[in-house]
Amino acid sequence: MVSCEDDSCPWSVRASCCKGDNVWKIAKCKGPHTCDKIQNAHDGRMIDSAFLAYVLERYIREDPAYKIKNLRHVALANLKHEVSHYKVWDAKQKAVAAIYGDFKESYAELLRFLAGLKDASPGTKYKLVVDDNYEQGTCTFKSVFWAFRPYILGFKHCRPVISIDATHLYGKYKGNLMIAIATDANNKIYPLAFAVVESESTETWGWFLACIRRYVTDRRHLCVISDRHPGIQALFRDTNQHCLQAPMTEHRYCLRHLCSNVNTRWKNETLKNLVWRAASATQERKFNATFDLIENVNRDAYQYLKDVPKEKWALTFDKGYCYGAMTTNVSECFNGVLKGARSLPITAMVKYTWFKLNSYFDDRRNKSIEQLNSGKKWCQYALDIFMRNKTKAEHQRVTRLSAQQQAYQVDTPHNPGTTGHGDHTHGVNLLQRTCTCQKWKLYKIPCSHVIAVCIRYRHDAEQYIDPCYSVDALFRSYALVFPALKDRLSWPDPNETRKVLPNPRLIREKGRPVSTRIRNEMDESGGRPRTTP
């Protein structure tokens, strides 16, 4: 018998189960049900997380990144009941487990899946780190690194610049997803390596970068751009980390984060813009002039920036290692692409990156082949910069200083519309591939002064564009094909015979999760765009 909990409401239903056929039949029904409680039901006891998982499964299958607040609206629209945040969160975990496998069992399957990846694509790299358990035959997951063979080999044809970042996982177990992103010849994101760790620290960042150096690339002067996480800073200050010291590795700070830190600390938009302008300057005299303005605006901010090594954040002191890249925007952008994967069980997350990157790789390969077949030599990114510089070069005056040394003087016209108002003199040496404006050295694309010399003496200015921007380099970056994965029954047995278990300390607590993200003005403004020459 079921009746309304409100004593003043007459509604009730009596039913009984018939013997033999196990069919429930309603014997008596009193009504109608007219009380207000059914109209304003909140988190009904009959709507448990298992039932909610069944209702919400198709929405989560379409998009694993579906937000809890949106799923609550879906539940309200479908069931006419308001459901608590935690109950929907718990239902989402059960729906994800039903679709992608159980969270706990996913850790046990991870090593076999990684071995299956490597078996299908030899050259794919992974490393699993576990802790010993007291329970015999088991071990506890600590961290995992993976990088796919097509991207490892294709990176040889990209600029030696990577951006690193970390973001939180949203699933049943807490942790961080670390990513390393490069850029291809057309300045598009090029995912390189991933890792799941318990938390961000000097130890975990050191392990991730060591894996990149060991399994992904050994190129000299690899430029790593990051935020100013204390663990990352400590790593690059440690002189015992030989692979992270020059000339093997150059470290740069994300300018967007640096400007945001300044603005958060001193709440001065003018000061923030001056920091951006100083960092973006390509000539030391322009940097010094802007740096003096910073001192006049805020002496404390000036001292704060003075204590930061200039080559870490100012383009004019970079020596061309970062190819003009000054932010971690590419890695943060790809964090958004992977948002759906961050709430999945760990094996499903690795599988998600495999298929997502395969789709991306195939699309870029087809586009690069189209450009090759059309006869294009340079990627659009480099051509756009080159053509802008060529337009400026048309009004510049060239004087030859030495035909043998290919040395020239270039005078720019007065231009009140620019920051420096024009009317400057620059020295160009084609033999040494230098220009005193430094843009050629920093961006590896001829500046307007070099192009002006080439126009005046009928040289081909395009020959001075770095080959890393060519369509051929773009194609070679995506030339390899992702192979089909073998059936799971054909995956080889891994070397680790113990069962991998998740760390019970990392299981997410009940209730609405407390955000640990330190929000700042970047969350509202989106930061400043990266400047181009």
Span 229-238, mean pLDDT?
Answer: 94
> Up-side HSE of residue 23: CA atoms within 13 Å toward CB?
5
CB 87, CB 43: distance < 8 Å? yes
pLDDT of residue 81: 81
pLDDT of residue 400: 96
> Up-side HSE of residue 506: CA atoms within 13 Å toward CB?
22
pLDDT of residue 183: 96
Higher pLDDT, 279 or 46: 279
| Dist CA 231 CA 178 (whole Å) | 13
With 50 as the cut, is the pLDDT of residue 527 above it? no
With 90 as the cut, is the pLDDT of residue 332 above it? no
CB 207, CB 199: distance < 8 Å? no
- Which range, of 78-82, 190-194, 203-207, 390-394, averages the lowest pLDDT? 78-82
Query: How does DSSP assign 503-515, residue by residue?
Result: -GGGBPPSSSPPP
Span 113-119, mean pLDDT?
Answer: 95
With 80 as the cut, is the pLDDT of residue 336 above it? no
> What would the two tokens of residue 137 be?
């035959």
Place of tokens 């039903």: 98
Query: How many percent of the chain have pLDDT more than 90?
Result: 70
| Dist CA 101 CA 111 (whole Å) | 15
Angle in degrees, CA 104, 105, 106, rounded to 5: 90
| Dist CA 533 CA 192 (whole Å) | 26
| Dist CA 383 CA 360 (whole Å) | 23
pLDDT of residue 276: 96
Strands, sheet with 434-435, edge to edge from the N-terminal-most edge strand = 397-402, 407-411, 425-429, 434-435
> What would the two tokens of residue 238 be?
């440690």
With 60 as the cut, is the pLDDT of residue 50 above it? yes
Helix axes 68-79, 85-100, angle to 10 degrees: 100
Classify residue 432 as exposed, middle or buried by CB count within 10 Å of its CB (0-12, 13-18, 19+).
Answer: exposed
**Predicted TM-score of the model (pTM):** 0.85
Span 371-376, mean pLDDT?
Answer: 96
Angle in degrees, CA 231, 252, 293, rounded to 5: 115
CB atoms within 10 A of CB 502: 21
> 435: closest CA among 267, 443, 514, 486?
443
With 90 as the cut, is the pLDDT of residue 311 above it? yes
CB 107, CB 143: distance < 8 Å? no
What is the DSSP-derived secondary structure letter of residue 72? H
pLDDT of residue 512: 55
C-alpha distances in angstroms, 228 versus 55, 191, 251, 252?
43, 21, 11, 9
- Which range, of 135-139, 243-247, 416-420, 456-460, averages the lowest pLDDT? 416-420
C-alpha distances in angstroms, 1 versus 7, 16, 22, 530?
15, 9, 17, 68
Span 141-166, mean pLDDT?
Answer: 97
Span 189-215, mean pLDDT?
Answer: 96
pLDDT of residue 495: 79
pLDDT of residue 493: 86
Amino acid (one-letter) located at 52: L
Query: How many percent of the chain have pLDDT more than 70?
Result: 92
pLDDT of residue 44: 64
List all residues 6 or more positions away from 278 whose beta carbon is below 8 Å from its beta carbon.
287, 290, 291, 294, 305, 314
Amino acid (one-letter) located at 167: T
> 278: closest CA among 297, 266, 267, 264?
297
| Dist CA 277 CA 7 (whole Å) | 73
C-alpha distances in angstroms, 452 versus 360, 389, 411, 456?
39, 9, 10, 6
- DSSP-based three-state secondary structure for 199: coil
Which residues sit opposite 82 in a β-bridge? 42
Higher pLDDT, 449 or 62: 449
Label residue 513 by pLDDT band (50, 70, 90): low
H or E segment and range at residue 95: helix 85-100
What is the DSSP-derived secondary structure letter of residue 257? H
| Dist CA 322 CA 161 (whole Å) | 6
Cα pseudo-dihedral 417, 419, 420, 421, rounded to 10: 10
Which residues sit opposite 425 in a β-bridge? 411
Place of tokens 């081909």: 460
pLDDT of residue 235: 94
With 90 as the cut, is the pLDDT of residue 463 above it? yes
pLDDT of residue 171: 85
Span 339-352, mean pLDDT?
Answer: 90
User: How many helices and strands (H and E) does the chain possess?
Assistant: 19, 15
Span 48-56, mean pLDDT?
Answer: 90
Q: What is the mean pLDDT of the chain?
A: 90
- DSSP-based three-state secondary structure for 194: strand
